[in-house]
Amino acid sequence: MRRSMMKSGLLLLSLSYTFIVSNSTYAREFGERGSRGQNGQNGAAGYSGQDRSIKATGQSETIDVSGAPGEDGYDGDYGRDARSCGQPHQPAYNLTGADGGDGGSGGYGGRGGSGGDVTVFYQNINHLKRIQILNQGAPGGRGGYGADGGEGCECYQTFWDIEYCGFRLLKKQKNVEGASWIYANRKETLQCGEYPNRVRPTETFTYRWEDQGVTQRKTFRCTSGDYGRTGSNGSNGSYGSQGSITLVPRLSIAPTKPSFYDGISNLLGKRIDLSKDIWVTRNGTAQLLAPSSNVPSYYKYLLKTSKLSYQINWNASQSPSQLGVQNVRIGGQILSRSETGELSLSLPGTIEYTKSQSGNLTTISLTGGFDPARLDKVSISDISGIQEDGELVLEDVGNLWNELKSVELEVSLLTNKTASGVTVSPRPVFRHKKTFSVVNGTAGIGAQLTGDSIALDAGRYFYPWLKSGYKAKYQILVKQITRNGTEYMSNIERSFTVGE
């Protein structure tokens, strides 16, 4: 306890001070954080074995096309220690040391090389027993290790006390004999050893600070910086895949022609011969080769070569150029299905034909049709009338009304108002739908066909909503069905204001 006495009087002041431990979470950092260690380099991938083709002649032979192992990943570098770690001497605030740098992560292990693919040609299956094949994949490299982090700045002094002294301002009236110093309603608390600024006198009073001694003591702390985090270990490289085995029971593979397409005029009267190798997958590779072989269980086997043909003949009353189909592209290809070859022909649904089969020859007789480019040419040419007088006219630029088996026109009307005139949406919404049809060139109920145009009696079916000024839209789904039953669909739409 420290005592202070006023010289101007007999009053004795008894003062006490308070101990305070600073528990603030805020602390100033000292030192510089250590830099992060570099990551380890990734290991290189192993080389894959080269693909090989050989002929089995009965001589002993070893084919080693195994993959090479992947290289190990490199270890990460250590994190650097924190720098400039001199702890400030007993400041009036908490301290924390800078952390050490994080350790670098280990590099990834390189992927193991894959085994090479091997194709074996042979005529005698027993000759395969004289061949040893090694085409296994190799292991991947080991991942590098992550490095330790660096050391943080350490505190050499963990706790320290700071004393604070109290001051109060006194004043005394000027030019008054025997005037006493009295309290001027102002106090300050400063770190002991520091003093308040001098208060200038006024016309009436002069001022001085009275030192009240130690009134408060605070305890501050220092926390050492943490070690940097340890880097993560790199992943091990994956195992290389095993190569494949292909067995061909002949000494070579002849070129094949699995497909052919051309314009109709270029194909007429010609026999097109196609061929395709039929490959299958079999199990039991190890039983066919030398016992010391390291090969996959399944192998690819050339079962046979499928040979099929097609011929295109013309059997229509009009020529291809008169029908406009001379450049329409058609043809076929051999598909492999259920370990055999199957001819798949490609003709547009607009071409009419018959088909016959004689052995491996498929004959296609073209009997009529039109260019598919003429499809999807229907458009809205006119919208007129209100209520019962409403009419919708469509035009087919392709002029196919009489050449199709049927045409279906699914017409939907959308309006922004109800039949009673209530506006329910700024955009037109669905109200009603009606389907019109043309069958073998004859228009159905509600439709009238004239040349390449068809007039639809919209007022008959949509009159409640075809009121003057309504914002409306027609949406039409067009279904065009050819004589051989192929269906083509398209969509058209147009927005309009009824009566305008």
Provide the residue ranges of all domains of the chain, joining segments of one domain with +. 3-26+156-223, 253-372, 375-497
Distance CA 234, CA 303 (A): 47
Q: What is the mean pLDDT of residues 450-473?
A: 93
What pLDDT is stored for residue 425 in this prediction? 84
Residue spans of alpha helices (H) in 149-267: 264-267
What pLDDT is stored for residue 223 in this prediction? 96
Q: What is the mean pLDDT of residues 455-472?
A: 93
What pLDDT is stored for residue 13 in this prediction? 35
Residue 480 in this model has a pLDDT that exceeds 80: yes
Bridge partners, residue 189, by sequence: 166
Please give the order of strands across the beta sheet that includes 329-337: 259-263, 329-337, 340-346
Express each pLDDT in 226-251 by its tens digit. Answer: 999 999 999 999 999 999 999 999 99
State the DSSP H helix or E strand holding residue 462, giving kind and residue range, or none if neither. Answer: helix 458-462
What pLDDT is stored for residue 31 in this prediction? 96
Computed from CA positions of residues 210, 212, 215, 218, in that sequence, does the dihedral angle turn out positive or negative? positive
Contact partners, residue 205, CB within 8 Å, separation at least 6:
171, 172, 173, 174, 184
- SS3 state of residue 460: helix
Question: What backbone phi and psi angles, to 5 degrees, belong to 346?
Answer: -120, 105
What pLDDT is stored for residue 12 in this prediction? 31
Highest mean pLDDT among 181-185, 358-362, 483-487: 358-362
Q: pLDDT band for 23, please (50, 70, 90 cuts).
A: low
Least-confidence region, from 92-101, 188-197, 314-323: 188-197
What pLDDT is stored for residue 188 in this prediction? 83
Q: Which CATH class is domain 375-497?
A: mainly beta
Q: What is the mean pLDDT of residues 342-360?
A: 95
What pLDDT is stored for residue 414 in this prediction? 95
What pLDDT is stored for residue 25 in this prediction? 67
Query: Of all residues in the chain, what percent carry a pLDDT higher than 70?
Result: 95
Computed from CA positions of residues 209, 211, 215, 217, in that sequence, does the dihedral angle turn out positive or negative? positive
Query: Of all residues in the chain, what percent carry a pLDDT higher than 90?
Result: 87
CB 400 within 8 A of CB 349: no
What pLDDT is stored for residue 15 in this prediction? 40
Residue 350 in this model has a pLDDT that exceeds 90: yes
